[in-house]
Amino acid sequence: MALIVDKTTTGREYKVKDMSQADFGRLELELAEVEMPGLISCRTEFGPSQPFKGARITGSLHMTIQTAVLIETLTALGAEVRWCSCNIFSTQDHAAAAIARDSAAVFAWKGETLQEYWWCTERALDWGPGGGPDLIVDDGGDATLLIHEGVKAEEEYEKTDNAEFQIVLTIIRDGLKGDPKKYHKMKERLVGVSEETTTGVKRLYQMQANGTLLFPAINVNDSVTKSKFDNLYGCRHSLPDGLMRATDVMIAGKVAVICGYGDVGKGCAAAMKQAGARVIVTEIDPICALQALMEGLQVLTLEDVVSEADIFCTTTGNKDIIMVDHMRKMKNNAIVCNIGHFDNEIDMHGLETFPGVKRITIKPQTDRWVFPDTKSGVIVLAEGRLMNLGCATGHPSFVMSCSFTNQVIAQLELWNERSSGKYEKKVYVLPKHLDEKVAALHLGKLGAKLTKLTKDQSDYISIPVEGPYKPAHYRY
Amino acid sequence: MALIVDKTTTGREYKVKDMSQADFGRLELELAEVEMPGLISCRTEFGPSQPFKGARITGSLHMTIQTAVLIETLTALGAEVRWCSCNIFSTQDHAAAAIARDSAAVFAWKGETLQEYWWCTERALDWGPGGGPDLIVDDGGDATLLIHEGVKAEEEYEKTDNAEFQIVLTIIRDGLKGDPKKYHKMKERLVGVSEETTTGVKRLYQMQANGTLLFPAINVNDSVTKSKFDNLYGCRHSLPDGLMRATDVMIAGKVAVICGYGDVGKGCAAAMKQAGARVIVTEIDPICALQALMEGLQVLTLEDVVSEADIFCTTTGNKDIIMVDHMRKMKNNAIVCNIGHFDNEIDMHGLETFPGVKRITIKPQTDRWVFPDTKSGVIVLAEGRLMNLGCATGHPSFVMSCSFTNQVIAQLELWNERSSGKYEKKVYVLPKHLDEKVAALHLGKLGAKLTKLTKDQSDYISIPVEGPYKPAHYRY
Amino acid sequence: MALIVDKTTTGREYKVKDMSQADFGRLELELAEVEMPGLISCRTEFGPSQPFKGARITGSLHMTIQTAVLIETLTALGAEVRWCSCNIFSTQDHAAAAIARDSAAVFAWKGETLQEYWWCTERALDWGPGGGPDLIVDDGGDATLLIHEGVKAEEEYEKTDNAEFQIVLTIIRDGLKGDPKKYHKMKERLVGVSEETTTGVKRLYQMQANGTLLFPAINVNDSVTKSKFDNLYGCRHSLPDGLMRATDVMIAGKVAVICGYGDVGKGCAAAMKQAGARVIVTEIDPICALQALMEGLQVLTLEDVVSEADIFCTTTGNKDIIMVDHMRKMKNNAIVCNIGHFDNEIDMHGLETFPGVKRITIKPQTDRWVFPDTKSGVIVLAEGRLMNLGCATGHPSFVMSCSFTNQVIAQLELWNERSSGKYEKKVYVLPKHLDEKVAALHLGKLGAKLTKLTKDQSDYISIPVEGPYKPAHYRY
Amino acid sequence: MALIVDKTTTGREYKVKDMSQADFGRLELELAEVEMPGLISCRTEFGPSQPFKGARITGSLHMTIQTAVLIETLTALGAEVRWCSCNIFSTQDHAAAAIARDSAAVFAWKGETLQEYWWCTERALDWGPGGGPDLIVDDGGDATLLIHEGVKAEEEYEKTDNAEFQIVLTIIRDGLKGDPKKYHKMKERLVGVSEETTTGVKRLYQMQANGTLLFPAINVNDSVTKSKFDNLYGCRHSLPDGLMRATDVMIAGKVAVICGYGDVGKGCAAAMKQAGARVIVTEIDPICALQALMEGLQVLTLEDVVSEADIFCTTTGNKDIIMVDHMRKMKNNAIVCNIGHFDNEIDMHGLETFPGVKRITIKPQTDRWVFPDTKSGVIVLAEGRLMNLGCATGHPSFVMSCSFTNQVIAQLELWNERSSGKYEKKVYVLPKHLDEKVAALHLGKLGAKLTKLTKDQSDYISIPVEGPYKPAHYRY
């Protein structure tokens, strides 16, 4: 796509695939609202006081239907919003169209190139001459990264062999031609960021440890109502969804290897087991390995099982998990996918550059790669990127309502405390009573009724009647 | 679509949606072959002797990728084939295109009108002046029905209020203008039919009981490797698949009502339970009800739960299960779908004619129907027809390989015995040793190893070393 | 125990372990009654008319608390009853005491020798000079066997190497000294037998095939409400129960091998999987093997896994499944048990006679057998006999209520039709409407509500409103 | 039992039920050792250096077979040990006998009165004139409590209405007659305590907060390998075990109410669901409630379901959960039990003092309580105390090996650092690398193989190759 910004009749900027899908997007958005009670409650509770009045929010987060409900919650609370996706395949084009038409500046489409991806990120951060956003909603940390790298842009960096990262530098360099203080201005204005996912949070803690973090950050990922819900139950839903849409393969009877048994891996393993697969887990952490065993799963190394399994899914958050040499040993038409992190969990580079390898695209996001010697092929989903977003529609609305309600609450907290000095240039988690509130907002939809502590019981266990109910270290 | 028959360059007739999808269909067909070891084994075992040489086979069965592998197995064994779908929404257009281009005469597309549907059925049965097919592969019994009704066409029928059935009569009447003995000729030529599903089998047994069955029939549905696999494990896979593609709704935490707890209902209930829903079953049969209870499911009537459940799925094979009055009492955006039988399990007629009701099509096969008084809506999938075929791609290849291997074996049996008098105008099931063979053909793909009886053990339990291993009444 | 018959103050004969346990037995009996709605309904429905008035019933069936409720249902309907157990370890002594004191002649205790076992069986069949019983309730067929062998006793038998069978012959020979026509008289009087279990039923069908069956038999085992409930759900409950009581071993994380995947094996595999074990199945039948695969279980041969598994359980109904050579290759303290059939599923003879083997009795029914060379041992439960009865208390009351209500109905049917000629010397199953009735009697206790067919629906599917709802071949 | 201390031939003190069960205990102990690889590894790794040489350890922890392996691990490392149980019903008398005969001073038997219980605790703490123990292994905190209360004994306490607590005061008073500085001496000598369970840990944190904690404490309960294993998987195993041994009731088909959905509640709910029950959860915490919903469980209040459920189990750690007024509304023979905390989760006092209530003891630990007006009864297990220990044998060896390996490591840490000043009078948790070590010691037994990070991967995610692998706040 030509990288030219479009404008709505009201003058709002956007760049999406097909504006004619806006009506379809609106219909699905309306369905999603019914499934996202936490966000709708935020509109009801906070909308009247317009707490985000005057706030500019930039989001870098999969531009899906669920995110659309988040965006319109932010705008319902008074914010102005600019948005991009945090993954080249994760945008739902009808969602992007509906938001671009009705609510916020969107720069996102399904199937961006890496150049396009960073262009979109840069567009979402660019609020014009007056500087950047007040707040960032981040997922994976790319918006945050761009600002931090921008600020460092005058310095000499050492050569990097990360192809994707080179693009960031180019984007920054081009921007600096226009305003050599662009990112410094952005940094000055920024109140803070709320970060959504494990990988982005890890980056933030590293910056905090290095003393390079430029603004306060709220780690939304480690809210219980995020990591133990979205990561776990979201993936339990969306892994089979992605597998079925991409390949129609029968899961029952197959051997599925789940690499990593963290929250995401637990959700994936549960989904595969429940669908009738035999599940084998690979792990580096003995505690997680022992958890897998207690659920009846086998724990082995990838090498042990590479030639007998049918489905391989990475969830580790690390790189170099499934290498091209593994793929060469797999059964014909073994399925290889990633639901954890970046596309480097799978050795896509090794696969793409393997001499004589042949790529047969069955349909978008579903490729069969055939090795020249064996004529045997593996089926790689979403080019090694997040398969639930590339091949299906990501996590369902209800669980995303939990995650996004945390986001809204974190954004409110940062904004309300922008002048109080409460938050330093550190990483924070939300207090437990807000975590519990997020959960409470989702119970009614599912017909649940909570029990109330009596005063006497409250005294007996020294826990307030209204909570919080657990100590900080509680693991759920 | 204009109902004009197209022809390939080799002169084979067809009518499909889009021939340019043939390459895509071929790629998915090749993937499916790897998942359908039973059919591929038939090609290996029987292909060289060309047992179907000279046989004309008409099929009326969902024109999916899996069916395409069945069709090409029949042609690999020497048959000529003409095909239509047995459901207006179940055709996968790329599958139809690939077969039309490469292998057989196909008349099918996704989204036929009822008129088009019966036109296609009639085309599939019409082999030109020389009469009809030698064999029928049927699913639901519509090809068989058309012949039986055709034969009866001179008689006066009583008035019927079944809208769909009127179309059959019109089709027949039009055909009779060309050849007033058309269906009698067809009947004369026909060697037999093999029938795939519960509803069609029920029709056959009724015709047998009435003495009106015109040719032998093999009930493939009641092979164990069909009813206890396709119906059970197929639906366990394809119900959540359809729900997710159509609505993206989170299943975990929801209340799902499964109407009927036969093989299909058992698969559906298992799928919903495993996905984290709370499942309530409705049943008329106390034995099936007690089975549901033993699995921890609640057994209630639809009236008891209509206003508190989120997902309703019919699997009964009966009519009038979910009526418009039920739908009016449901929660806003409750999902209503059918995976059992015809669209009359759900009161589509009552819904469509409800005064003031508004239909909002979210996307094809996903409609929100809003009642005028409450402004509350229900989401109906696939217009009340089989949602796994309308909203997803039907059952996965592996389990269909079991069903279709039964079909191939049944067709071979009918054809090989066409002159022996072995089969009268009755309904037969395949002998157990063939049923066991179908299963055996599918074990290797899944890495299983069977234990062998010793001679001594065989004597002890009076079961042959090579099987069959179970008495006829065994329930598995 | 000295084999001397005791008498109650009212003159009824018995031989039990400890009459002082009668009160305890009565208390547990009263608990069980609440869990056995089918039997209690029989008392309510049939008790007033005393249909068994004048009938003598002999039972050979595990003398447990649940059986006690069966016995008192038979007596509540007017029968006189004599009872023995059908397994040397399965008697619950407090149940035997309560019945002996209050209701019927009982000859049973936990831990009988084989001599004592057959003595008890003979006592239960001996109604004094006037001949034997009118009806037999049988489980495994030993009471039926004794009569058949008795009738053959004048003939010359070929030598048998079955140690247990020699005892039968001795018992018979001793009896013949008193009355050389004893078993012929018994045969003359006998109205019929209802048989409870797979093994006994197999014997009956063999006798029917050989033309040697001496009286009518009703196969209760193949009632759906028996084989698909007691065998499946009963074992799902009682396998872990037996394992836990005998060994306290943690099941989670272990590898469990289930030999055989029939109804019993399905229940056992489900139980082990649910408890967190990794389950491997061995099978001879490809259909059952494919069912196991669809549930995510691995199917291999015993040889493949003998050295890596922790728990082995036989459910085959065949002999020579786990041989002493297998046991020598197992891990130290591997658990070996049988829940299927006789103790010959496990090669107890080979184990007992293995040179240098050492038996260490941990507690009754839990033995560690140590091989002399490896010093490694296996733990064998219940001496290879049914471990759920030997190490725990058998199946729970609720599921036995299903089985035993079938027994009562079968006994009533035989008795009511004793003069009508309806039943020949063949094996019969109960008609489906009675099977459905048994299920229906158990729904209320679990809070279930059935849906009723409308007349219109009934016509549509040609099934009576009141059932039966399924064809005979239906598999559930 | 008369409270007179016995002595072995070697002069070691003890008080147990029946010394003749020592051989039986030893056999079961040997079985358990095979299942407890963590403890055996400690013996192998630390035994040679005798790190506990000179250390006196007092334990107050359920005197079961598993605890016996813990005790003999402590003695194998050089400690002298005195032991009592921390629950009046939890002792396994054969385990106590084996330890008393062979290894340590034991004061424990199944079915102690409260007087006896505290006498045993006092005996275990009394090491003669030279003061008390160096270290305490505690479960529930009663040994720690006794010392703290002892130290306070000169002060005037306010009147308490806790019947059990009065006994503590009496015990202390009696002891003070002999040595008025007894507890001060004990306190002086004590190096520290390691505490096993939630309730005891809560007491410790309260004392820390109040500044009244007299010595360092290690909170073993919150090791991941304790709370997420013993509490969760242990209860998943032992709840059904206790139910089956106590009542033989069929769990399938029943409605089970689990009060509380923490780690214990999660294990209990999973066990009931897997056994085929329909599970309803009560919760005060919205996050835990939402977790239950995601697993398909219903969340309601006790009042909503009290009259329709069959099994009630408390796991809250709070008091007054099931009151006598609830029990009066339950179905006849509803089962009421506690697996969480003290017997005050169930209103035993209200039940015992209800006018006209009748207690019928079916067998020890299984009582039917009948209300006078309705003649309806509830079955209360283990008199409201921990039913898995009262009615079964507690958690299985393997999971206890995880917990107890934490105990051994904590004891080693306290002892090794006794002079270093590392530990103040505060509550500590074990560092993560030790937690991971405990897990690692249990993998081999289950056949698992860990994956190793490469150096490159380790750098990429900034996690050492050898771990620890997770941040402190990780929830598993």
Q: Chains with ≥3 Cβ pairs under 8 A against C?
A: A, B, D
Mutate to test the interface with D, among B254, B257, B258, B278 (most CBs of D within 10 A): B278
Q: Give residue C68's pLDDT.
A: 98
Q: Is C368 on the interface with D (CB under 8 A)?
A: yes
Q: Which residue has the higher pLDDT, B329 or D182?
A: B329
Is the predicted pLDDT of residue C173 greater than 90, yes or no?
no
Q: Which residue has the higher pLDDT, B334 or A172?
A: B334
Provide the residue type at A57 as one letter.
I
Q: Is B376 on the interface with D (CB under 8 A)?
A: no
Residue of B nearest to C462 (CA): B206
Q: Is C433 on the interface with B (CB under 8 A)?
A: no
Record: contact A224-D283, CB cut-off 8 A: no
Residue of D nearest to B291 (CA): D253
Give the rounded distance of the alpha carbon of B375 from its chain centre.
36
Give yes or no for a contact between B231 and B394, defined as CB atoms under 8 angstroms apart. no
Q: Does B388 show up as a binding residue in the annotation?
A: yes
Contact residues on chain D for B293, CB-CB shorter than 8 A: 252-253
Record: contact B279-D298, CB cut-off 8 A: no
- Min Cα distance D129 → chain C (Å) is 40
Record: contact C250-D35, CB cut-off 8 A: yes
Is the predicted pLDDT of residue C160 greater than 90, yes or no?
no
Q: Give residue A94's pLDDT.
A: 98
Nearest to D451 among A225, A282, A439 (CB): A282
Residue partners of C75: CB distance under 8 A and separation at least 6: C81, C103, C104
In order, the DSSP letters of B117-153 are HHHHHHHHH---TT-S-SEEEESSSHHHHHHHHHHTT
Mean pLDDT of chain A: 94
Residue of B nearest to D293 (CA): B253
Residue of B nearest to C317 (CA): B461
Q: Is D224 on the interface with A (CB under 8 A)?
A: yes
C231 is catalytic: yes
D62 is catalytic: yes
- Min Cα distance A358 → chain B (Å) is 14
How far, CA to CA in Å, does A380 sit from each of A331, A332, D129? 13, 12, 74
Nearest to A293 among C253, C290, C293 (CB): C253
Is the predicted pLDDT of residue C162 greater than 70, yes or no?
no
Q: Is D273 on the interface with A (CB under 8 A)?
A: no
Q: Chains with ≥3 Cβ pairs under 8 A against A?
A: B, C, D
Q: Is A311 on the interface with C (CB under 8 A)?
A: no
Segment C331-353 shows an average pLDDT of 96
Q: Is C360 on the interface with D (CB under 8 A)?
A: yes
Q: Is B244 on the interface with A (CB under 8 A)?
A: yes
Q: Which of C41, C85, C238, C291 is catalytic?
A: C85
Contact residues on chain A for B253, CB-CB shorter than 8 A: 398, 446
Q: Is D228 on the interface with C (CB under 8 A)?
A: no
Residue of A12, A147, A139 lying closest to A70 (CA atoms): A139
Judged by DSSP in three states, D415 sits in: helix
Q: Which of A33, A138, A196, A345 is catalytic?
A: A196
Residue B216: left (phi > 0), alpha (psi -120 to 50), or beta?
Answer: beta
Q: Give residue A1's pLDDT.
A: 67
C226 is catalytic: yes
Q: Does B198 show up as a binding residue in the annotation?
A: yes
Residue partners of A428: CB distance under 8 A and separation at least 6: A216, A217, A218, A219
Residue of C nearest to B461 (CA): C318
Q: Is B329 on the interface with C (CB under 8 A)?
A: no
Contact residues on chain B for A240, CB-CB shorter than 8 A: 240-241
Find residue D14's DSSP bridge partners.
Answer: D6, D106
Record: contact B284-C448, CB cut-off 8 A: no
Q: Which residue has the higher pLDDT, B165 or A259?
A: A259
C62 is catalytic: yes
Nearest to C293 among B227, B446, B469 (CB): B446
Q: Which residue has the higher pLDDT, B399 or C128?
A: B399
Kindly list the strands in the beta sheet with A334-338, ordered across the sheet, starting from the edge strand earlier in the chain. A298-299, A278-282, A255-259, A311-314, A334-338, A377-381, A366-370, A358-363
Q: Is A245 on the interface with B (CB under 8 A)?
A: yes
Segment A142-151 shows an average pLDDT of 93
Question: B135-138 and B56-60: which strand pairing?
Answer: parallel
Is the predicted pLDDT of residue C350 greater than 70, yes or no?
yes
A326 is catalytic: no
Nearest to B237 among A251, A308, A332 (CB): A251
Contact residues on chain C for B263, CB-CB shorter than 8 A: 475
Q: Does B308 show up as a binding residue in the annotation?
A: no
Is the predicted pLDDT of residue A453 greater than 60, yes or no?
yes
Residue A317 token pair: 């958050």
Q: Does A267 show up as a binding residue in the annotation?
A: yes
Segment B110-117 shows an average pLDDT of 96
How far, CA to CA in Å, does D291 sit from each of A158, D234, D281, D283? 47, 20, 10, 11
C397 is catalytic: no
CA distance C53 to C134: 12
Residue partners of C400: CB distance under 8 A and separation at least 6: C36, C66, C67, C70, C230, C234, C394
Q: Is B307 on the interface with A (CB under 8 A)?
A: no
User: C292-315, pLDDT tens digit by residue?
Assistant: 999 999 999 999 999 999 999 999
User: A419-432, pLDDT tens digit by residue?
Assistant: 999 999 999 999 99
CA distance B374 to B334: 14
pTM score: 0.95
**What is the count of residue pairs from A and B with beta carbons less than 8 Å apart?**
116
User: A365-396, pLDDT tens digit by residue?
Assistant: 999 999 999 999 999 999 999 999 999 999 99
Backbone angles phi, psi at B83, to 5 degrees: -140, 145
- The gap between the terminal CA atoms of chain C, to the nearest Å, is 46
Contact residues on chain D for B258, CB-CB shorter than 8 A: none
C93 is catalytic: no
- Min Cα distance C268 → chain B (Å) is 14
Q: Is B20 on the interface with A (CB under 8 A)?
A: no
Positions in chain D short of pLDDT 70: 1, 154-165
C174 is catalytic: no
Residue of A nearest to C298 (CA): A278
Mean pLDDT of chain B: 94
Q: Which of D21, D60, D85, D194 is catalytic?
A: D85
Nearest to A397 among B65, B248, B360 (CB): B248
Give yes or no for a contact between A260 and A320, defined as CB atoms under 8 angstroms apart. no
